[in-house]
Structure 1
């Protein structure tokens, strides 16, 4: 399936991946990306490809479509109730991270329907600190138009080790997730200006 994603991305877009050397080959890892299109998960999967085993979180509503559910289960996507993620779901996500899967996350929680970005949710920081995982900020820069450029940039890994032993509130997690999102945004504007 990942091979098909890669073929799709390279056939229908001017697909360029920068910074794969910043993806650690082992260890607990979350890849955090901006989110403007349904193509984003395909682009990230194509960019990481053979570098790491991957899983991702998707809203549980997507699993109501039987055909889509079959595809999502095949590539080991984890359904989540975005309003009230159950403890079982959280434990399942942490288990994947600790079993050497890179968790792909979109900190905004949902697609941004405008040219701007949504605020980051608490989940990114929560999972990173609970799983003691590094975060690789991933910036997707594309118009999503066929045969136009789609650039994927992986920044240097971010450690949240200073927070591992702290008792963090939801507000703390939102702030920390927001700081990672700021890096993703900064890299987006650099890609836009051709500085990366």
Structure 2
């Protein structure tokens, strides 16, 4: 058993009963090939919650500062996370993300870039559209519907993959594609709230 599988089991054992996590739409998740998994971001616990509910291992971009924290840095690295420098175009992080998708792995992104404390869906950053347009990865929208309160139900909803071909053919911009992805996430939030 590798560290990811072990950690997933431990976290699932604690979080699932504590937050009464209900997973909807898992059947939409592609069984193989690259997957760009895009979710809203409501709480710091979102990455582990997506990690334990997704049917396949997920690599996340995490802010570079976290990798400098003793112990935590080593743990998140062993959970397939990789650093991204926020507030600027981080070419190394973009290359790492593209490589993960092209190798058939799952890349998890929170297109809003940071937690949205208002509970409303914020504007997505162009990175999600960049990855969607530059690879043939399946793009799966995900909605986390809270609140994170002990013993209150928390929903994680996986939507059907978004067909990106029309956007690739029409040479849509990364910003336009990110907006499409955010609209799909918004639809899931409205449908299941």
Global fold match (TM > 0.5): yes
Aligned residues of 1:5 and 1:45 also touching (Cα < 8 A):
no
Query: Cα offset for 1:165?
Result: 5.3
Q: Deviations over 1:42-79 (max 9, x none)?
A: 1111111xx22320111112222122111110101011
Counting only pairs closer than 5 Å after superposition, residues 18-167 of structure 1 correspond to structure 2 as 18-48=24-54, 51-164=55-168
Q: Quick check: 2:39–2:143 contact (8 Å CA) kept in 1? A: yes
Match of 1:17 among 20, 23, 45: 23
Q: Give 3-state SS (helix, strand or coil) of 2:71's partner.
A: helix
Judged with a 3 Å threshold, the aligned counterparts in structure 2 of structure 1 residues 57 and 119 are, in CA distance, closer, same or farther, namely: same
Deviations 1:101-123 (A, max 9, x none): 11111011110011222101100
* Rounded Cα–Cα distance in structure 2 between residues aligned with 1:163 and 1:189: 24
CA RMSD of aligned residues (A): 1.5
Segments of structure 2 that go 5 or more residues without pairing to the other structure are 1-6
Q: Which runs of 4+ in 1 moved over 4 A?
A: 165-168
How many residues of Structure 1 are paired with residues of Structure 2 in the alignment?
Answer: 187
TM-score by length of 2: 0.90
* Equivalent position to 1:2, from 5, 8, 14: 8
Structure 1: runs of 5+ lacking an equivalent: none
CA distance in 2, matches of 1:186, 1:174: 18
